Amino acid sequence: MVSVKGWNLPKPRSTGPPYATKSQVVAVLEQVAVLLELKGANLFRTRAYQNGSRALASMEEDLLTVVQEGRLTQVKGIGKGISGLVTEAVLEGTWGELAGLYDSVPAGLIEIIGIPGLGPKRARVMYEELGVDSVESLKAACEMGHIAPLAGFGDKSQQKYLDGIELLRRYQGRSRMDIGLTFGRAFEARIAAVPGVVKAQLAGSARRRRETIGDLDIVAAALPEDHDSVIESILSFPGIAEVKGHGESKVSLILEQEMLAAASGGGSMDAQLVEAMMERSADATIDAQVRIVAPETFPFTLAYFTGSKEHNIRLRQLAIDKGLRLNEFGLFSEEAAGEAIGMEAAKHTLPCTDEADIYRHLGLEWVTPELREDMGEVEAATIGASAGLPNLIETSDLRGALHNHTIASDGVNTLEEMAAAAQALGWQYLGIADHSEVLNIGGRQIGVPADGIPAQAKMIQTLNETWADAGTDFRIFHGSECDILVDGALDYPDSTRRSLSHIVGSVHALGSWRGRDEIANTEALIRAIENPTFTILGHPTGRILQGREGFPVDMHAILRRMGELNAEGQLKAVEINASPYRLDLDWRLCKYAKEQGVPVCINPDAHDTEGLRDVWYGIQVARKGWLEAVDVLNTRSGVELQALLGL
Ligand code: DGT
Ligand code: CA
Ligand code: ZN
């Protein structure tokens, strides 16, 4: 993530007085006015600082003299409070209570008001209503259409902010998985098609399926005499925003959208996913590095640049233990290599035609890239180890999903349309979980009122009967994405929840949850989970990748409690929200959930028919988190799930 610089109070000058200069004081007063406005202070206080700043700026006399002679309050526009503040700053270099004010405002909010046409007042509304506290989270909120419905905003403002963000900076830093993988796979396919390239493969964090990707690493194999022409071809690709550098065997580039146009072959990502990403993030760019090596070196370079660094270190240590040396060029015995280094030493390499050969020489089974994080995979891969590597889940293992929206709340498709799309994916069921009654955005009600549930139930029942009569193995499960209120109670009357097939409990009023500590949040969440009607914990921390942090919570404690409830025979599952903006539950916690006996449910949280395909990202997270098909609730058949939900 790009590190955002907020505002800081000036340090006192080393000699003085004055310990603060006039321009420093003018700037601080102006900043204080903005900070107060961001915090919602009353207009008079804000004005006082604005006026004070202006008054000082236009004052011709020497500030120190005026302060020392005690004449500051005589300056028009400067009241007693500000006079005291300025006096302290000038004579001592300290700023009274202001440090607390500076600390209390997220740095990201300061950056937001740098966007043209976006002032503190609106920044504050978006912060309070939606938790928008950085340029990234604002961008995400605009892209998801959450800004336009806010009172006084509208589509025009939403678009204006998106344009403003683009102006503010060419997107730097890390990219979401959908952006990184779309670019990565398109670029990989283009390179693989270059004459002279024997093979090309995406490496780095993209191959390891991290939730965000810093830069793309691609390894290409070509005969040494072809390297020059291969590099030339790559440099002539469309969609290169900038060439950062190129040498004999390496090219560094910045890629932009044109790279994706008409790119052949998305690998395991289908065309619709690519399209969805392009729609969501039309302005995305990403850095990429290509390394071109001789074909016999390819497996070593691929393994090295796939990483992770931590995994590589473990492999290198295993090599050392066997008297071998492992690097990006080869795996060779210290003895044979002797004094030689680099490519020279690599001439002595043990032959390896693929990564599996390298792992075998080190006494390991081949480790799938998602697991290469040194989180137990080296031990599990050790040949003869008792536990062994997991047999990871695949997209084709899913039989449905349980958290999806329709036009009844904030979705854009009808029940029938969503069901048809689910059937087209080969699913046996679709869980509908529209928002519950309390959910509103900027005063506009989004959720389904309790008295609207019976009508939805009727429609679903009719559809289910039609499929049953036709002998079609498909059904809709009528659930709700029920708000978890601040105290851990669930929205809706108990009777409403009991009438539903499943409850996805989610926190949406993030402000209150982020404003209190981990212990209070954990208690409230456990209370919600213990509610007998509760089935699935939706997007557990509320995080938006590249945007906002989730609320503080002890997820281990939550998963332990859920494990106990499952042991008592109650079905309590945790969601991997598969939206590439969320990917929450984090992959790092999946293994723990599994160890505690908590089923994981991979949910697209689809708001339209295309959104169902996002489960692919959820599968990547589940795989990275060591999950097998059996660990995931929605690999169960429609009939099995029906029984599990007590229907
Ligand atoms: P990213 O780009 O920040 O999302 O993460 P990665 O994992 O793609 O990291 P990157 O691009 O810096 O380097 C690619 C791989 O190269 C990395 O996963 C492992 C390998 N690598 C890079 N630097 C080192 C290093 O200093 N030591 C070792 N053992 N491996 C390294
Ligand atoms: Ca990388
Ligand atoms: Zn949802």
Per residue in 561-614, pLDDT (tens digit) is 999 999 999 999 999 999 999 999 999 999 999 999 999 999 999 999 999 999
Residue 417's identity, in one-letter code, is E
Assigned fold of 107-171: DNA polymerase; domain 1 (1.10.150)
Looking at domain 22-104, what is its CATH homologous superfamily? DNA polymerase beta, N-terminal domain-like (1.10.150.110)
Closest ligand to Cα 403? 3
1 Cβ below 6 A of ligand 1: no
The H-or-E segment that residue 499 falls in is none
**Using the 8-state DSSP alphabet, how is residue 484 labeled?**
B
- pLDDT value for 171: 42
pLDDT digits (tens, 9 = 90+) for 187-215: 999 999 999 999 999 999 999 999 999 99
- 175-295 maps to CATH 3.30.460.10: yes
Looking at domain 299-381, what is its CATH homologous superfamily? DNA polymerase, thumb domain (3.30.210.10)
Query: Mean pLDDT: which of 255-264, 372-381, 440-449, 541-550 is highest?
Result: 372-381
626 Cβ below 6 A of ligand 1: no
**Using the 8-state DSSP alphabet, how is residue 606 labeled?**
B
Same fold across 22-104 and 107-171: yes
> Which of the four pLDDT bands, split at 50, 70 and 90, describes residue 3?
very low
- Measured in Å, residue 173 CA sits from the centre of ligand 2 at 11
Q: Which residues contact 104 (CB under 8 A, 6 or more apart)?
A: 39
- pLDDT value for 5: 57
Residue recorded with tokens 């058949």: 637
Q: What percent of the chain has pLDDT over 90?
A: 77
Q: Cα(549)–Cα(140) distance, rounded to whole angstroms?
A: 13
Query: Mean pLDDT: which of 282-296, 337-351, 455-469 is highest?
Result: 455-469
Cα distances (Å, whole numbers) of residue 454 to 149, 461, 501:
27, 10, 13
- 395-644 maps to CATH 3.30.870.10: no
**304 CA closest ligand 1 atom index:** 20
Q: Which residue ranges make up each domain of the chain? A: 22-104, 107-171, 175-295, 299-381, 395-644
Peptide bond into 585 cis (omega under 30): yes
pLDDT digits (tens, 9 = 90+) for 21-47: 887 898 899 999 999 999 988 889 999
Q: Cα(216)–Cα(197) distance, rounded to whole angstroms?
A: 18
pLDDT tops 50 at residue 266 = no
Question: Mean pLDDT, to the nearest integer, of 110-127?
Answer: 87
Comparing 453 with 335, the larger pLDDT belongs to 453
Contact 585, 540 (CB under 8 A): yes
Contact 613, 276 (CB under 8 A): yes
Provide the token pair at 248.
Answer: 């004999």
Question: Mean pLDDT, to the nearest integer, of 104-115?
Answer: 87
Q: Cα(253)–Cα(243) distance, rounded to whole angstroms?
A: 5
For ligand 1, atom 29, which residue shows the shortest CA distance?
Answer: 309
Residue 88 CB-half CA count within 13 A: 11
Sheet with 250-256, strands from edge to edge, namely: 197-202, 216-222, 285-293, 250-256, 240-246
Query: pTM for the complete prediction?
Result: 0.77
489 Cβ below 6 A of ligand 1: no
